[in-house]
Structure 1
Amino acid sequence: MYEKTVLDELSYQNVPGVIVGVTLPDDVPFGDEPLEELSSLCSTAGIRVRAAIHQNRKDIDPTYYVGKGKAAEISEAVKESGAKLVIFDNDLKPGHQKNLEEVCGCAVIDRTELILAIFNQHARTRQARVQVELARAEYALPRLKNLWSHLERQRGALSAVGGAGERQIELDRRMLKKRIQRMQDELKEILKRREIEVARRSDLFQVAIVGYTNAGKSTLMNALTREGVLAEDKLFATLDTRTCIWKLPDHKVLLSDTVGFIRNLPHKLVASFQATLEEVREADLLLHVVDVSHPAAQEMIEAVNSVLREIGAEGNRTLMVFNKIDRAHDKPLLAQLHARYSDGVDISAATGEGLPALSTRVQEIVEERETSVDWTFSAANGKLLAYLKQHGKILGLEYIENEVRVRALLEPRFVAPASELRDRG
């Protein structure tokens, strides 16, 4: 049992807030409304958005991130709306947070802290909780003084000296460092167990569903496997990987639903979620699910690809799956996506439209990897025949006196073991 730190007591549930976004010259536009996604993240976290402020800037102000005048405007919005929290769509340095809190008179958090809070709410298994807790602790370590100010303001007891004393902050720092070490050690053990599990399943073709958060990945998994995976209209509803058997017309494959990605996903979170993302790296095929009803579909694809590069999965075979086609009304956007990803499949996981075509396409990809064998061997070699039936697709079977001729398709991994059985006679 860990000793409690300020990190365990902080909560943003049901807190009124003001959201702020800053667009810099090199930033890629995301959707029609620059703060729409941040507003959705706040809703998922339980924060009640009272006001929204956006600014285009040439560079980052070293003191307030937004500049003195805009900081004063945010402070006024806080007072007028009765907000208790300011949420930035950008990543802030501890100094920016401290200076903004002094101006606004309330807690200020950034996009990373908000995402970590959401992950903390949705972590259900031990593995997910360890991964989230590690990321939160590493993020909190250089920000302990600010976090104590947040907590004191939530309690309505912020003192003139600014909350907790240096001794309490130092105690928290030591406890967090110990906790980080314990979490890292436990995560190493989880990774070892995960690697063993993946190795045991290696005889089946592995498919992993990836995509932007709320793209419909869990809905698709339910539609393909009927396994009852949690599917909610929320950001990051799924944090734990769920793996099921997906029965194709002539094959069985393993299908895994994974955590949703998002633009500017915190690097510490990606690093902490190595055990969960192992499913993605080890997959034979990635189904990249895209919400084509969203105006920022192209940007979502790039955000997912960025995370895949970060975890070393950019080279995996990928099939684009254009979901929510029944709600897609932007024909030029669809035409662009089809032109760029000509192999993509249009579906609606909710209505079932396009799912047979998706199954057929995945089966074709599985069979592309297979090796054709045409072997004649003794009819007494029952082990070989049983192996071919279990691990391959039988195309032809003919008995000739004391011999049997088999034409079959085998995945590359099964060819060598089958050859050994044939050589043994």
Structure 2
Amino acid sequence: MPSRPRAVLVERLEWRQESRIDELKELAESAGYDVVGSFRQVRHEDPRYHIGEGKVKELAEFVRENDVDKVIFENEIKPVQAFNLAGELGVEVIDRFQLILEIFAQRARTREAKLQVKLAQLKYELPRAREMVNLAKKEERPGFRGLGKYEADKYEEMIRRKIAKIERELRRIEKDRELKRKHRHRLGFELVTLAGYTCAGKSTLMRALTDETVYVDSKMFSTLDTKTRAVDLDGHRVLLTDTVGFVDNLPHWLVESFKSTLEETAQADLVLLVVDVSDELPEIKRKLRVCHRTLEEIGAEGPIVTALNKADLIGWEEAERRLRELEGYVSHPVVVSAKTGEGLDDLKAEMRTVLSRYWKNVRIELPMRNETMRVVSKLHELGNVLDERWSNDGVEVFLEVSEKALGTVRGTVKGFGKVEVLD
């Protein structure tokens, strides 16, 4: 088995700024790196190296003595800073955003996910293209090879053309996805999307709710490709979709690149927000702020049910105590353990209660004809049949159905029976 590449982490902090190097370590390990050390420095940004020259020398000595393959910065690094650092350190230097792109590239399986990753990479590179070409022509440095043949203008234009081509293809995929959403609504399905900070246990919860096999991994961003499965909420058919996890400080260009995937969350009838309740309380609140901010940025307007997951790691009593501490941070909260199954019935009940606000009770009158049984069977597919009253003249069907499927119900009995909305 080949050895994992060795990485050292670096973080520059402003005065009283909160460190995020622990999360950077998780990201690096998820990308396949063996993290062998970390450096922190509190100071203003140095225009040449980002960190101070003395810290660069200290870092260079550590890199040589520990056979480090890559240096990863928590902070965003300018191309000239990465170029200068690579010259001093003798290894490639990347920042948090490039690391996330590496992870995304490793995780992408479907054509859509691969296109979105490529788009994000190009959007990251575009504002840096001119500087990268000029630096690459100076001399060979780790991470700056292969651009010497390009003129800055031509390289920039090439990136723009590639971005435009990928965006056209993703728009076609987005239109297909929108057609599927509308079709599912017409069939009587409610659309629920799983959302949450990466590693909150979304995929494990999806597997527990659907009783179907889905890929589960403890690594960050294990889900890039959307997966949809059916869930029965006491007679109501729901389609549950798992999408990419959120993380703090995601740049706008990265969110935009995954617009077609995040659209699933924005257009959902309900967002099931998954939170790792085993984190320390300040960390839970931080991640909740990130999640709510991201949901706002992508335009998610559906109601939110919050699943406080991983209660088995801290005990139910402690999880309930944390729930009380989180009042005002969460909406419709339910304590669960996707691993043990505890709390899942309560979660389903809460989802059903919230979704029921958007359902209608209707009364349908059908005459007794040859096609009556076929129509009644179709109504069973479109909603939750509460009662059927048969007589020699026909049948009365009392149906609970989503607002978005009401048009399909009317179309099903048009010219044959009557539909009356009761509430």
Does residue 1:354 correspond to 2:354, yes or no?
no
Work out which of the residue numbers 309, 313, 326 in structure 2 matches 1:337.
326
Q: Say whether the 8 Å CA contact 2:133–2:150 is kept in structure 1.
A: no
Is residue 332–residue 350 contact of structure 2 (8 Å, CA) maintained in 1? no
Q: 1:228 corresponds to which residue? A: 213
Read off the aligned partner of 2:251 and give its amino acid letter: P
Bigger mean CA deviation after superposition, 277-286 or 383-392? 383-392
**Residues 269, 302 of structure 2: 8 Å contact kept:** yes
Contact 2:363 2:397 in 1 (8 A): yes
Distance 1:211 1:401 in 2: 54
Q: 2:149 aligns with which of 156, 162, 167?
A: 167
Q: Are 1:24 and 2:6 matched, yes or no?
A: no
SS for the counterpart of 1:201 is helix
Aligned to 1:298: 285
Aligned partners of 2:226 and 2:242 also within 8 Å: yes
> Structure 1 residue 312 and structure 2 residue 299: aligned?
yes
TM-score, reference length from structure 2: 0.84
Runs of 5+ consecutive residues of structure 2 not aligned to the other structure? 418-423
SS of the residue 2:241 aligns to: strand
- In the TM superposition, residue 90 of structure 1 has moved relative to its aligned partner by 1.4
Which of 381, 385, 394 is the aligned partner of 1:390? Answer: 381
Which of 215, 218, 225 is 2:203 aligned to? 218
Indicate the SS of the match to 1:288.
Answer: strand
Q: Shift of the alpha carbon at 1:66?
A: 2.6
Equivalent in the alignment of 1:94: 79
On the 8 A contact 1:338/1:344 being kept in 2, the answer is no
How far is the alpha carbon of 1:99 from its aligned partner? Answer: 3.2
Change (3 A) 1:25 1:370: farther
Number of matched pairs: 400
Aligned to 1:321: 307
Checking the alignment, whether the CA contact within 8 Å between 1:347 and 1:353 is kept in structure 2 is yes
Deviation string, structure 1 residues 186-216 (Cα, Å, up to 9, x no partner): 2222222222222222231001101111111
Corresponding residue for residue 45 of structure 1: 31
Kindly indicate whether the alpha-carbon contact (under 8 Å) linking 1:205 and 1:284 is maintained by their aligned counterparts in 2.
yes
> Is the counterpart of residue 258 in structure 1 residue 248 in structure 2?
no
Q: Alpha-carbon deviation of 1:154?
A: 5.5
Alignment partner of 1:200 is 2:196:
no
Asked whether the 8 Å contact 1:15–1:84 carries over to 2, the reply is yes
Q: Distance in 1 between matches of 2:224 and 2:136?
A: 28
SS in structure 1 of the partner of residue 247 of structure 2: coil
Q: Give unpaired runs (5+ residues) of structure 1.
A: 1-12, 156-161
Letter aligned with residue 360 of structure 2: T
Distance 1:379 1:137, change over 3 A: same
SS in 1 for 2:222: coil
Kindly provide the CA deviation profile for residues 296-322 of structure 1, in whole angstroms up to 9, marking residues without a partner as x: 222111122222122111x22111001
- Residue in 2 aligned with 1:186? 169
Structure 1 counterpart of 2:362, one-letter code? V
Shift of 1:355: 1.1
Retained in 1: the 8 A contact 2:136–2:147?
A: no
* CA displacement at 1:163 relative to structure 2: 5.4
Amino acid aligned to 1:303: V
Structure 1 residue matching 2:12: 3-state secondary structure: strand
Closer/same/farther in 2, CA of residues 403 and 233 from structure 1, 3 Å limit: same
Q: Secondary structure at the match of 1:202?
A: helix
- The alignment partner of 1:36 has SS state of helix
* Percentage of matched positions with identical amino acids: 36
Q: Select 1:77's aligned residue among 62, 68, 93.
A: 62
Distance 1:64 1:140 in 2: 19
RMSD: 2.9
